[in-house]
Amino acid sequence: MSNIQHTLSIIKPDAVERNLQDQIKNEFKNHGFQILEEKKIHISKEEAERFYKIHESKPFYNDLCAYLSSGPIVVMKLQKDNAVIENRKLMGATNPKDAEEGTLRKKYGISIDKNSVHGSDSVENAKIELEFFFKN
Ligand code: CMP
């Protein structure tokens, strides 16, 4: 039975800076994702703080928000059967050092902060995160 879902993907500043966005977008397409919407934006630190509010209490929160707002990013609305988990599989572990061969973070990530891509971690958060960037 099909279970079409939508999820948010962000190509982070380290990957945009290295001009990897087309390569990463092709990875999604080659793995059966449809990119329904996309835009290249440069968000403020305050917007990053709102986006990552879920991590507010973490010691890395400030650096994380400074980083996401440090340069242009590409945000995408992805669609696929079981998109949320499928995107997390394709991204690999948060820390590129721990990510499996073939995953995006293994291939492109530099460090736990500069890990090239973000993806929603649940169906519920995907709705919230998509609304954040693509509300009509
Ligand atoms: P992301 O999937 O965008 O979600 C939160 C981000 O925080 C994560 O990727 C990492 O880039 C970053 N981060 C930095 N330090 C840590 C840490 N110790 N544990 C988890 N995430 C971290």
In angstroms, the CA 50 to CA 128 distance is 11
Domains, in order of start, for the chain: 4-133 (3.30.70.141)
Note if 31 is an active site residue.
no
Average pLDDT, whole number, for the chain? Answer: 97
Residue 135's pLDDT band (cuts 50, 70, 90): confident
Pocket test for ligand 1, best of 112, 114, 121 (most atoms within 8 A of CB): 112
Instruction: Give the pLDDT confidence score for residue 58 in this predicted structure.
Output: 98
Q: What is the pLDDT of residues 100-120, one digit of tens each?
A: 999 999 999 999 999 999 999
pTM equals 0.97
Are the beta carbons of 119 and 106 closer than 8 angstroms?
A: no
Q: What is the pLDDT of residues 20-65, one digit of tens each?
A: 999 999 999 999 999 999 999 999 999 999 999 999 999 999 999 9
Q: Quick one: average pLDDT of 86-113?
A: 98
State in Å: Cα 5 to ligand 1 middle.
Answer: 23
Residue 136's pLDDT band (cuts 50, 70, 90): low
Instruction: Give the pLDDT confidence score for residue 1 in this predicted structure.
Output: 86
State in Å: Cα 95 to ligand 1 middle.
Answer: 8
State in Å: Cα 47 to ligand 1 middle.
Answer: 17
Nearest-atom number in ligand 1 for the CA of 52 is 5
Q: Write the DSSP string, the chain.
A: ---EEEEEEEE-HHHHHTT-HHHHHHHHHHTT-EEEEEEEE---HHHHHHHTGGGTTSTTHHHHHHHHTSS-EEEEEEEEETHHHHHHHHH--SSGGGPPTTSHHHHH--SSSS-SEEE-SSHHHHHHHHHHHH--
The reply to whether ligand 1 has any atom less than 6 angstroms from the CB of 94 is yes
